[in-house]
């Protein structure tokens, strides 16, 4: 999957400022997607500074915060601070606590891989209470769980431009999405900091003394690598391992999570097993014979025979996995088959691992061919 990279003549901060100025220069409504994460904080800070400098009109701006219910306390505090800042600067700030459909990969025995945030009728087990000013109802949402928040934003804010803090360096999927973007299908989103690296984000935060959720520091102290510091919903397919840290350090929050989703305890016990697709040195030590398993055969059993081990929502997309298996037969390695096998057991409702494996298998095969050619050349040299 080739990507063409072009060097710019200005730094990423100057480029982000210019992109935001250009968006506001159109005179249309601007919807800033705020999430409390580090990328969102940088994008919000740049926008806020441009407002204070008089370079953009705050009356065009509406900040959108989708409250996913399961948030670290320091994230809620950050949202409160930025709500006050933007409102004081003359912009609108809408705090949504709506019953959206969310991905959940915790309960492998349930009939679905989803749950509903702020679900009506379950107020007694909500992870926290919404703020008094939160928007709890919308004409675009006819019933709880009708859509996810991404679809909602596309519909509700179609009359303007959505400004999103997406960065391509965070995943190959995002890079592919932006690199091969069909402008006719792009819609109304744009990404002013898409070309920022992790170091750009943290340097911006450091130099401007931005206050960020302290959960980042605690996760880093717990051993999470800098390029993996992301704040996600607790039940998401890329964030379940963080539950173990919550249980160790924030007893109150853990109790609220467990009350909301009793099977969260399952993730706490087995986050580093095949069930949840995790891999650490400790796991490798405990499962020293893992490389001896024939993962291709195990994968075939999942893909081509009726099997209730695969979560239902992932099972609906098995034809895509079968296509991947067939198209890469003969070039995929046992390690590739292991990742595919574990993804199916763990669940991949957003098809993230599926997309990654398409890229990784062909990339690794190309590298192996190049290495073999280099060795042959050296042997004949």
| Phi, psi angle pair for 160, to nearest 5° | -150, -160
**Residue 153, SS3?**
helix
Q: What span, in angstroms and rounded, lies between the C-alpha atoms of 377 and 381?
A: 6
Res 363 pLDDT > 60: yes
Domain spans of the chain, in order of start: 13-207, 221-276, 290-371
Half-sphere exposure of 379 (CA within 13 A, CB side): 6
126 burial level (CB within 10 Å; 0-12, 13-18, 19+): middle
Which residues face 218 on adjacent strands? none
More confident residue, 308 or 259: 259
User: DSSP per residue over 227-289, as a string?
Assistant: GG-----TTSTTTGGGHHHHHHH-HHHHHHHHHH-TTHHHHHHHTTSGGGT---HHHHHHTTT
Q: Residue range 138-153: average pLDDT?
A: 92
13-207: CATH topology: Rossmann fold (3.40.50)
Q: Residue range 163-175: average pLDDT?
A: 68
Q: In this predicted structure, which of 71-85, 146-160, 363-377 has the lowest mean pLDDT? A: 363-377
Q: In which band, very low, low, confident or very high, does the pLDDT at 371 lie, cut at 50, 70 and 90?
A: confident
Q: Residue range 305-317: average pLDDT?
A: 76
Q: What span, in angstroms and rounded, lies between the C-alpha atoms of 64 and 56?
A: 18
Q: What is the pLDDT of residues 314-361, one digit of tens each?
A: 777 889 999 999 999 999 999 899 888 888 877 777 777 888 888 889
93 burial level (CB within 10 Å; 0-12, 13-18, 19+): buried
Q: In which band, very low, low, confident or very high, does the pLDDT at 83 lie, cut at 50, 70 and 90?
A: very high
Q: In which band, very low, low, confident or very high, does the pLDDT at 270 lie, cut at 50, 70 and 90?
A: low
Yes or no: say if 217 and 329 are a contact pair by the CB < 8 Å rule: no
Indicate the pairing of strand 92-96 with strand 61-66: parallel
Q: What span, in angstroms and rounded, lies between the C-alpha atoms of 350 and 232?
A: 14
**Residue 81, SS3?**
helix
Q: In which band, very low, low, confident or very high, does the pLDDT at 1 lie, cut at 50, 70 and 90?
A: very low
Which residues face 64 on adjacent strands? 33, 94
């Amino acid at each position: 999957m080739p990507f063409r990279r072009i060097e710019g003549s200005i730094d990423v901060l100057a480029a982000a400022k210019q992109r935001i100025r250009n968006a506001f220069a159109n005179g249309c409504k601007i919807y800033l997607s705020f999430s409390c994460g580090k990328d969102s904080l940088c994008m919000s800070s740049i926008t806020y500074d441009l407002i204070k400098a008089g370079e953009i009109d705050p009356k065009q701006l509406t900040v959108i915060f989708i409250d996913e219910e399961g948030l670290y306390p320091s994230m809620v505090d950050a949202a409160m601070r930025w709500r006050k800042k933007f409102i004081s600067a003359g912009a609108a700030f809408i705090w949504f606590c709506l019953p959206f459909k969310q991905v959940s990969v915790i309960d492998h025995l349930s009939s679905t891989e989803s749950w509903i945030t702020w679900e009506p009728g379950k107020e007694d087990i909500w992870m926290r209470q919404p703020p008094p000013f939160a928007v709890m109802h919308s004409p675009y949402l006819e019933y709880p769980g009708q859509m996810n928040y991404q679809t909602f934003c596309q519909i509700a804010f179609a009359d303007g431009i959505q400004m999103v803090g997406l960065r391509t360096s965070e995943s190959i999927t995002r890079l592919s999405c932006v690199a091969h973007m069909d402008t006719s299908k792009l819609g109304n989103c744009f990404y002013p900091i898409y070309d920022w690296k992790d170091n750009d984000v943290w340097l911006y935060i450091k130099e401007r003394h931005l206050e960020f959720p302290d959960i980042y520091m605690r996760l880093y102290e717990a051993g999470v690598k800098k390029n993996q510091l992301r704040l996600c919903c607790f039940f998401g397919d890329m964030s379940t391992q963080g539950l173990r840290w919550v249980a160790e350090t924030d007893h109150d929050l853990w109790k609220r999570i467990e009350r909301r989703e009793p099977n969260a305890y399952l993730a706490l016990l087995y986050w580093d097993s095949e069930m949840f697709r995790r891999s650490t040195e400790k796991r490798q030590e405990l499962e020293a014979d893992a490389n001896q398993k024939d993962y291709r055969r195990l994968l075939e059993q999942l893909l081509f025979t009726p099997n209730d081990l695969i979560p239902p929502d992932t099972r609906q997309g098995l034809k895509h996995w079968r296509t991947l298996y067939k198209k890469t037969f003969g070039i995929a390695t046992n390690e590739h088959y292991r990742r595919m096998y574990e993804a199916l057991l763990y669940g991949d409702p957003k098809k993230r691992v599926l997309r990654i494996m398409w890229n990784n298998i062909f990339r690794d095969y190309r590298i192996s061919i190049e290495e073999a050619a280099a060795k042959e050349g050296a042997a004949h040299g």
